[in-house]
A and B are shown apart, each in its own frame.
Chain A
Amino acid sequence: MGENLPRVPGGAQLHSDTLHGPVRTLRVKMVILGSSGVGKSSLALRFVRDEFKNPSPTVGCAYLTRVVHLSDVTLRFEIWDTAGQEKYHSVTPLYYRGAHAALVVYDISKRETFVRAQVWLKELEKQYIPGSTVMCLVGNKGDLDQERQISVQEGQALASDRSLFFTETSVLSGDQISELLLGIAHRVYECIGGQQGGLSEWKETPLIDLHHRDTFTPFASCCKVGP
């Protein structure tokens, strides 16, 4: 599952490593929002399995997990991939309530998804308790540069206005995906991890013993970040 880990150009290294030391494991709730078709499910799949395939449209919400090892802590990302359809708007707050990280995704080749992203950001701000959620704007489908309708600058400007983390990715090519996840991991840990009641510790349920773990978080892969 986690064998084909992406190479990280920026010096950091990812290791396939299912063993982890006596470091704490903290739960991070992350939600992915945005119009349908921008690549949210594909992004979630890249996060947890590092593969790309043509997904069917998401119904409701998909829950996936991915473990990220930082130098002194392990973060267990519990990722909610939401359906962009309006019909689910009434239930979506359920998914982003209490999220530690929120990714708002748009498709750089479709302006209306960028407009929609701004609506999502407004919506999130209503629920937003400063310091409790790391928000991130993601311009996906960077590989479609020829059909680009939103410039990098425009995306960056929107993010800077609201002091959000910003990146352009290509889920198709894998570009910037692990950087994005690591970036979020660091920020979440720095901003929220230290707070009282910020991140709760994750304990494996006593029902399951260790060798079953792979089955019950079937797609979780682990990676360790060197200093």
Chain B
Amino acid sequence: MERDNHQEGEAQGVKICDSPSESNPPADTLATSLSLLGNHMFPDPVERNDGTTVVKEEPADLHLSDVTAQEQSLDAEHVSNQVKKLETEAAENSECQNNESTETTERGTEDAAIDNDQSDSGEFVVTMLAKAKLEEQGIGVKGRSSPLLEAGTQESPAFMSHRDEDVTADSWRQHRKHVFVLSEAGKPIYSRYGSEEALSSTMGVMMALVSFVQSSDNIIRSVYSEEHTVVFLQKGPLVLVCVSSSRQSEQQLRGELLYVYYQIISMLTQASISRIFEHKKNYDLRRLLAGSEKILDGLLNLVDSDPSFLLAAIHCLPLASSLRDSLSQILQKAITPNLVFSILIAKNQLLTIVQEKTVIEDTRLEPADVHLLLNLIGASSAFQAGEIWTPICLPLFNPDCYFYAYISYLDPPECTVCLLLLSTDKEAFYAVAECKRKIEEAMVAQNSLSLIAKAQSYSVSQVGVSDLRHFMYKPFDVPDNYRQLTQFTSPEMEAPYSSEGEKMRLLDLYRYMHSRIHSTSRPLKLIYHVAERETLLAWVTSKFELYTCFSPLVTKACAITAITKLLRWIKKEEDRLFIRYPPKYSTTPNPSKSSRGGKSDQQDSTDNGFLSLL
């Protein structure tokens, strides 16, 4: 995709680590960095066409004032760019593209002034969106049904605060990230802020836009305006739209929309959604999602505040491995036919996860599915008032079928330790509830709850590197028969990142680094970014992905030494920081497929790839 202007603009704000031949760091640092970084970190010029771009950098000891100026120039660039670009992509193959210009032009003269000129397309979008705004002002805020809606099918529960927002107000427009979900027929399904009803004309326009572009065999993917990035994602009969001023990359925003889609699937299944819309194109899906908006709201808040989503990895609660093992064993012993996953959660973080081995031998839970489950638990405090039994789909595991989830807190009234048991049998409630009693009993006997209560996230000061303020470390799963759950570890965000605003600012910096590392056009392996109030270093190797945040005065040499220390520390602590050996159980009397017991599983996994780099 042609987005080079934009990319260049961003590139000016970052500095990319030089290749060793081009700078002269002290010998000891170089030695360290070379042995530490390995060859893949500094590709030879010949290797550079593997899709990786390493840009030569500005002097290493850049002054703060320069940096500020640079950041400003980035902003200026951003603004002056004002690329109201309508990016389209040939849906099938490039041949379509040949016809594109003629076809689009024809349609353009018919409907509105749209042609292949990108700025004109942009104008079109902006005009259309603006028009929608005007119409809404006529519609007013709440309660009025629009012609798009079926009358009387609406249940509007009283508990939705954001739903009552005045969509004509400036404050509505100023939300950092809007998310809309609509059906292909243009019917509103969900809006993060304001009621979908009041927004039906905006959604209608969005859909008009999507189908307009579609009619020429293209897929609308994104629209850039001065302050906003609009990203579209079509999944089956659903269209998801994000309007963001967060400066995140299109890729990241699309990833977030995908989470929203998956959360909807987790409640309804993909199969039933397609069935519904095949049957009735203008079905009002809100009838099925009524009451679930809070779950989507909660998801979007988590996506903004929890880096697990960005990293597509699980953050487990650090725990002495002996305690984690004993908890796993408790789960392993409390089983019943058709039970497939047993998951223990504390303070919204994973403690352990145990899975049935014959039913799902070759699969594992995807991080995204776990995120959806954690969000479901977090979003519904109603769970605290009893035992829950609910159908739930794990979209990455199987988007078309339901599991039945048993959810119960083990430590009322505090309700911080939560047990989640997944069964494939919808009639199994009493049997599964009985497993919980056994688990509860064993945990009482072993005093597990008070031990869990002591577990907590760690402080970065434990690493013992003075300039290091925060980090996120995600080891890569090494493809072995062990099939680890993708995880990451990260300390508590402490001063100067203790306020909500500062936390968000650090996350935004991480998101920025992440977008550079994962850029589709120019992925990078190492970024050393001197920001105004901190210095960040992001580094991806075949073994791990690492984001670090240092105080602003750190030198590059210091940062590299610090990272060496950090990696050693993680290696030392990995048994505590990660779920190392997720055990399995068998609920079938004679496990025919797998002869390996839990014991040998553990022995097999002594080298599961964690940090074998060091």
A contact set with B: CB distance below 8 Å: 1, 35-37, 41, 44-45, 48-49, 54-65, 79, 81, 83-88, 91, 94, 112-113, 116, 205, 207-208, 212, 215-216, 218-219
Contact = CB atoms under 8 A, between A and B. Distances in A.
Contact of A48 (B385, B392, B434): B385
Contacts of B429: 63
Contacts of A212: 440-441, 444
Nearest to A91: B391
Interface string B427-459: 101000110011011001000000000000000
Query: Interface size bucket, B side?
Result: 35 or more
B155 A87 contact: no
A110 to B, nearest CB: 8
Contacts of A64: 385-387
Contacts of A61: 388-390
Given A60-B388, A60-B389, 13 more contacts: A36-B155, A36-B290, A58-B291, A59-B376, A59-B390, A62-B385, A64-B385, A83-B291, A85-B289, A86-B287, A88-B391, A207-B441, A208-B437
Interface of B: 152, 154-159, 267-268, 287-292, 294-295, 376, 379-383, 385-392, 405, 409, 412-413, 426-427, 429, 433-434, 437-438, 440-441, 444
Given A207-B437, A212-B441, A57 B155 contact: no
Contacts of B427: 94
Given A91-B426, A215-B444, A85 B288 contact: yes
Contact of B155 (A37, A44, A216): A37
B444 A37 contact: no
B391 A35 contact: no
Given A44-B386, A87-B288, A219-B386, A59 B426 contact: no
Q: Please provide the 8 A-B residue pairs with the shortest distance between their CB atoms, ordered closest to farther.
A: A60-B390, A37-B157, A64-B386, A57-B291, A87-B288, A36-B291, A62-B386, A218-B412
B386 A86 contact: no
B437 A205 contact: yes
Given A44-B385, A61-B390, A216 B288 contact: no
Given A63-B389, A88-B391, A216 B437 contact: yes
B294 A57 contact: yes
A58 B380 CA distance: 7
Contacts of B387: 62-64
Contact of B382 (A58, A79, A86, A216): A58
A41 B412 CA distance: 17
Give the interface centre of B158, B295, B409, B429 by most chain A CB atoms within 10 Å: B158
B375 to A, nearest CB: 11
A95 B98 CA distance: 58
B425 to A, nearest CB: 11
Nearest to B287: A86
A85 B288 CA distance: 6
Contacts of B390: 59-61, 83, 88
Contact of A37 (B291, B383, B426): B291
8 contacts: A36-B157, A59-B292, A60-B391, A62-B387, A63-B388, A63-B429, A112-B152, A208-B441
A55 B291 contact: no
Contacts of B437: 205, 207-208, 216
B438 A207 contact: yes
A116 B153 CA distance: 10
A63 B390 CA distance: 11
A57 B157 contact: yes
A84 B291 contact: yes
Contacts of A91: 391, 426
B411 to A, nearest CB: 9
